[in-house]
């Protein structure tokens, strides 16, 4: 009976191998949880920046539509959102068929498509001598923000706006005289 009792006492605890395997499992699990938490933190920060970039971009498009940038706009316009307390956010505005800066440097992945539009000989029309007056202008804005991890750092918004709201009314436009003559 004494031999049976000593045998039970020696098997009552965990072996060193069992403890080591348990520590390895807990360590791997903890590492995976911390990686997932870190990834979620990066995704959350990127989502916040993307939402804020969208809001700031829509604000700028609204300001363009209200005519606040009429004197400054030509083909490209750059700025920051320091006035809105977001110094790390910047924007670039392009009008019409113009492209953003790095698109011109060949970094744009659809450059073969863009090069067809750059070929002026392909779209020259001998019958159309004068410029075509357009009622609307395509306004695109790229809002850039700090890069976080593997995520991108820019958002591009596009909106069609009436020509007069983007550039202002033409001074040589005869519209006010015509209205005065009808009244």
Encoding tokens for residue 86?
């977001």
The pLDDT value given to residue 10 = 59
Any idea which of 34-48, 97-111, 150-164 has the lowest mean pLDDT? 97-111
Which position has the higher pLDDT, 89 or 117?
Answer: 89
Q: How far apart are CA 59 and CA 117, in angstroms?
A: 30
Give 107-159 pLDDT, tens digit per residue.
Answer: 333 333 444 444 444 444 444 455 556 688 889 999 999 998 888 899 999 99
Percent of the chain with pLDDT over 90: 40
Range of the domain at 95: 15-124+132-182
Burial class (CB in 10 A: 0-12, 13-18, 19+), 81: buried
The pLDDT value given to residue 56 = 95
Encoding tokens for residue 68?
């606040």
Encoding tokens for residue 178?
């015509």
Residue 93 scores a pLDDT above 80: yes
Total structural domains within the chain: 1
Q: How far apart are CA 49 and CA 38, in angstroms?
A: 17
Distance of CA 60 to the CA centre of its chain: 14
Residue 55 and residue 45 in contact, taking contact as beta carbons nearer than 8 Å: no
The model carries a pTM of: 0.63
In a domain, 75, yes or no: yes
In a domain, 9, yes or no: no
In a domain, 163, yes or no: yes
């Amino acid at each position: 009976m004494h031999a049976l009792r000593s045998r039970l006492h020696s098997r009552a605890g965990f072996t060193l191998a069992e403890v080591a395997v348990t520590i390895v499992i807990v360590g791997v699990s903890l590492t995976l949880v911390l990686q997932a938490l870190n990834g979620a933190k990066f995704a959350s920060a990127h989502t916040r920046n993307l939402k804020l970039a969208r809001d700031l971009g829509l604000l700028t498009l609204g300001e363009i539509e209200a005519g606040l940038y009429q004197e400054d706009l030509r083909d490209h316009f750059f700025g920051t959102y320091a006035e809105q307390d977001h110094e790390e956010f910047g924007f670039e505005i392009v009008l019409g068929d113009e492209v953003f800066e790095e698109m011109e440097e060949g970094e744009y992945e659809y450059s073969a498509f863009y090069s067809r539009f750059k070929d002026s000989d392909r779209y020259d029309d001998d019958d159309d001598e004068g410029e075509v007056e357009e009622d609307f202008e395509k306004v695109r804005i790229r809002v850039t923000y700090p890069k976080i991890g593997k995520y991108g750092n820019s958002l591009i918004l596009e909106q069609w706006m009436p020509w007069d709201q983007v550039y202002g009314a033409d001074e040589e436009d005869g519209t006010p005289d015509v209205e005065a003559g009808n009244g």
